[in-house]
Structure 1
């Protein structure tokens, strides 16, 4: 499936500029539109276990602050649900497991957020909770050690929100802590979706080349880059071919919402390294849109079973 195969009613206006996919959020320009597409009542029958490997969970106040940012600078949030409602929504529709991600945008937040996610995961065993830390904050390694002891399965960092380059020196202790503990790290290191309203130039900070430096310097680190590495799809295809510790998730890259679709080869070169993810609940379209677009590619039963859930369970040591 490519952009030309989408219904005209599903496509976005041709207003995206060189400042990034979120350029319509520049001052005086509106955020990207909601799609209003139909959603399924639950997952289709007959699918293998589906793991959504990219779901955001936050305390209520943090959720609401994130929603305000998206509404002003990104896109309308279709599902303004707090954590209990997020989990009820997805699990009741047939999602087998949820990987819960969050991030700290200033020092002193990480311990509180990690404790919150650990409590959520203890209460709902179908949640695989990840930790976070602000790279460079005092005691970063201790924060992660405590989070892993509390049962969190990995770490989530976000170059755009936390304003760091993937190969920044302050990251090395975090990478080494993950490698020692055998915990994967989910790193939003792709350049998109970029916005001028981040507090840094993410196109200057992020690149596939910088990610490759991390993979070379930390061979024991299992590293997952969301959004299929958007927008450097060809570069990430080559990285997958060269590095056995790199994983990608599909989040928002297959939904046909942004102006560029990844090449099919990116999914086929190392399909055992691709995870299905959505970014729920921060979506401007139907919760199952990514899934339907993925299934429409007809990648084959074995490949689909891995991407939809098996690969995520393997990455997080659940199978």
Structure 2
């Protein structure tokens, strides 16, 4: 937990340090016609030494042109980017500030993109061993299982998919090939299957595609699949807390939800109830606030030291198979 000299981490946010609350019915992005505001909060120079080892398990790395396109989309439809850094600069930024390791996520939104994207991530991992890279594929594209097998052979340690961007439901037929490839290779899967943030700028309706009930069917059909739903399953926090009790192969990450930025209150009960199956992530660099905003709030919860250590690093190491002796 926090040491007395970590004063810059201790204060919880004041009401002026977050966007105004929206009605839940409008979704986290409201009507999607205007982006949410940036928060000009102070950032720390690095993580305090008193924290346990920190793995940021939700970092986005893309080729430069894809980052340019992502920034344009977020500027128009979601929130302004505070950190306009390309892949190698993203890695240097976090590792130089005390993050022990990062898990690199990406996704393909058209057929034919996955192979070069996976090669890009594998190359970054080769140059920087503190990156744990995941593969991606477009569900339903020809040879999806073969694409993933090739990615695993290159050293990628799991798979990242995004229902909102790739427009698929977790329990649809095309996903079976992906699940089977992960189980066969004993690789975990991270899939953004929570309903939020919903935006009319997506080409599909996340609330129609995503639900905790759909994820429950996947967990039941594939008990050998290690599955993480990011953002604590937003916005179905209670439903995902119940799923954690029923399924040992389900995990969640904290990404952005504990930042006190969106319309709903952070689900503190969920964090405290399952410190063994939740891990820390940020969405860096796709953030409208300080890079360490979320970890400040997590550290200020006063969790037992062993729970904080699991949440900030230990659980991600277990889920992704990261060795404690790795560089």
Give the structure-2-normalised TM-score.
Answer: 0.93
- 1:142 partnered with 2:136: no
Shift of 1:315: 0.9
Q: Secondary structure, in 3 states, of the residue corresponding to 2:196?
A: coil
1:147-296 alignment to 2 at 5 Å?
A: 147-296=151-300
Identify the range of structure 1 (182-191 vs 41-50) with the bigger mean alpha-carbon deviation. Answer: 41-50
Checking the alignment, whether the CA contact within 8 Å between 2:243 and 2:250 is kept in structure 1 is yes
Give SS of 1:214's match: helix
> Scaled by the length of structure 1, what TM-score is found?
0.96
Give the secondary structure class of the aligned counterpart of 2:25.
coil
Q: Choose the corresponding residue for 1:10, options 7, 17, 31.
A: 17
Answer yes or no: is the 8 Å Cα contact 2:259–2:293 preserved in 1. Answer: yes
Given that 2:41 and 2:290 are in contact with CA atoms closer than 8 Å, whether structure 1 keeps it comes out as: yes
Superposed displacement of residue 317, structure 1: 1.2
RMSD over aligned Cα atoms: 1.1
Q: Tell me how far apart the structure 2 counterparts of residues 115 and 249 of structure 1 sit (CA, whole Å).
A: 25
Contact 1:24 1:31 in 2 (8 A): no
Distance 2:215 2:116 in 1: 28
Tell me the SS of whatever aligns to 1:100: strand
Match of 1:56 in 2: 60
- Rounded to whole Å, the distance in 1 between the matches of 2:192 and 2:45 is 30
Name the CA distance, whole Å, in 1 between partners of 2:206 and 2:54: 32
Deviation digits for residues 116-137 of structure 1, max 9, x if unmatched? 0000001000000000000000
Q: Distance in 1 between matches of 2:264 and 2:167?
A: 24
Q: Does 1:101 pair with 2:101?
A: no
- Measure, in 2, the Cα distance between the counterparts of 1:137 and 1:110: 10
CA offset at residue 46 of structure 1?
1.7
CA contact (8 A) 1:24 1:32 kept: no
Question: Which structure 2 segments of 5+ residues have no match?
Answer: 1-11
Could you list the runs of 5+ residues in structure 1 that have no partner in the other structure? none
Secondary structure of 1:198's aligned partner? coil
Q: Is the 8 A contact 1:102 1:132 kept in 2?
A: yes
1:261, distance to aligned residue in structure 2 (A)? 2.1
Matched with 2:28 is 21
